[in-house]
Amino acid sequence: MYNYLKVVREDAICILYISVPQSLNALNSKVLAEMNSFVDNIDDSVRVLIITGDGEKSFVAGADIAEMKDKDEYQAAEFANLGSTVFRKIELLDIPVIAAVNGYALGGGCELAMACDIRIASSKARFGQPEVSLGIIPGFSGTYRLAKLVGPSIAKEMIFTGKNIKADEALRIGLVNSVVEPEKLMDSAKELANTMIKKAPIAIRIAKKCINKELTMTIDAAIAEENEDFGYCFTTKDQKEGMSAFLEKRDPEFKNK
């Protein structure tokens, strides 16, 4: 079905591998178009999506420089819009998205990881926004998301210097949630996904919407939004089941209703 992606289903978990081994999984317009199609057609039965890179060396090594080199300003802006659109769709999926970063996450790769909800990194992972070394800036929403995640000052240092950082430094600055040994990366991502699958899917969906939406709100508006969504949870059967199970000292059986 796809030339540059591998899709693996494990019950309610879907694992998406970016698979362009000849370029360390670099993103070109064809790869991004396939990712766009995948996101638009993801199965409703998927409860958690894990995104990773195919192979041991690279998550995504960046955007495809060979494709970008001779673009004019309008073509370049169009390419940036394609990547940003796909990443925004990933960010807005109503299920948790985990990036399992197994190697180089540079440029577009770092930006893809940042579009995911949670980032688990191999101890061999490397992160960076090296675009200024090529005479450009991050083009797939990197200036925005990096500053949101690690703060403007650290984001500026990373972007202005173009330097790569190791996984432990990424953890220290808040770019990733955890760092594990390479052989434990996918098991750790799946373990986290399975923990989420046991929780109420409607509640997770609403919580994700709240967090994403409230990042651009004033505190008073965000609190009001959360209060309203909290109330909505009480219209669901999952809320009744969850609270009944708690009081009855048993595991809940959520039905996504």
Catalytic residues: 111, 131
Q: Using alpha carbons, select from 79, 81, 118 the residue that is nearest to residue 97.
A: 118
- DSSP string computed for 13-74: EEEEEE--GGGTT-B-HHHHHHHHHHHHT--TT--EEEEEESSSSEEE--B-HHHHTT--HH
State the distance between the two ends of the chain, measured CA to CA, in whole angstroms.
32
| Helix/strand/coil for 177 | coil
DSSP annotation string for 79-112: HHHHHHHHHHHHHH-SS-EEEEE-SEEETHHHHH
Q: Chain-centre distance of CA 17, in angstroms?
A: 13
Question: E strand or H helix at 199, and its extent?
Answer: none
Cα atoms in the Cβ-side hemisphere of radius 13 Å centred on 110? 31
- Which amino acid is it at 212? N
